[in-house]
Chains A and B, each alone.
Chain A
Amino acid sequence: MSKQSEKLSDAALVTEIKHGDAEAMEEIVRRFSNKVYNLAFHLTRDASAAEEIMQEVFLTVLSKIHTLTNEAYFATWLYRVTTNASYGFLRKEKKFTEQTLIDDTNSEHSAVYDWSTLPDDVLLSEESSEVLRTAIDTLPDTMRTVVIMKDVEGLKNEDIAQTLGLTVPAVKSRLHRGRLVLREILSDYFRKYSDPSGDNV
């Protein structure tokens, strides 16, 4: 791999690919393959589907690279294609839950138990991680996608909005509602560690 390619920005690499530079294509794959794979894995929770989706996404995006008019949008385009391919997989598997209604209207007002003071070995246990992963899985797809992109994968609100065709306030709203649902589920789970003397408000 050429050191030259490693130094180029994403947008510059895209320009080089458009000019037929195969090394730039390899660098783009190297730079984004884990990101695409991880996003697809978190959305589908299926390792082999995530690998297939990763391959399909790069084939689709790079074969249509000439249609991308603004090179700076490459990453969000890549994430959008990844998200759509993951939704396609979930539809096939009948796991798409966009219509699921979640009643989170009372979650800000329900009794709160302070599980933040629990020791790290409880908070960070494999069991609690699994509870959280399963809880994320139960969110409706757009909300789940926003939570995964923001809190798990660390993308910016603006990039998530562009990827999903939403406004930034819509991203924030879904993120907040998703976090509220997750907080409720974690509160229920951690309650078993609560002090019987009562720590609820």
Chain B
Amino acid sequence: MNCKICSKLLQEYLENSISEELISELNTHLKECRRCRIFFRTYSLTVTLSQRIETPCCVSSEKIKELTSLLHERLFPK
């Protein structure tokens, strides 16, 4: 495996969509290539940090009530 293939496989690896055999080849390459190893770690961590971005907040129950009563009015008129 070379650095280019390693870089291309990274995304599939994070999705758990590559074979055990390829994972083994990838790990062998990562052990030998410091550059790819750092790239792999920082790319994975970029994904992790994005996943940790806080969601703004929950929609307030008042807002949900307001919305559902508007929907009732428009879609289910008495």
Contact = CB atoms under 8 A, between A and B. Distances in A.
A37 interface: yes
B5 to A, nearest CB: 12
A39 B56 CA distance: 10
A38 to B, nearest CB: 5
A50 B57 CA distance: 11
Interface residues of B, number: 34
A62 interface: yes
A151 B58 contact: no
A161 interface: no
Interface residues of A, number: 49
Interface of A is mostly: helix
A152 B50 contact: yes
7 contacts: A25-B72, A37-B59, A54-B67, A59-B74, A113-B42, A114-B42, A132-B49
Interface of A: 20, 22, 25-26, 29-30, 33-34, 37-38, 41-42, 47, 50-51, 54-55, 58-59, 62-63, 108, 112-116, 123-124, 128-129, 132-133, 136, 147, 151-152, 154, 157, 172, 175-176, 179-180, 182-183, 186-187, 201
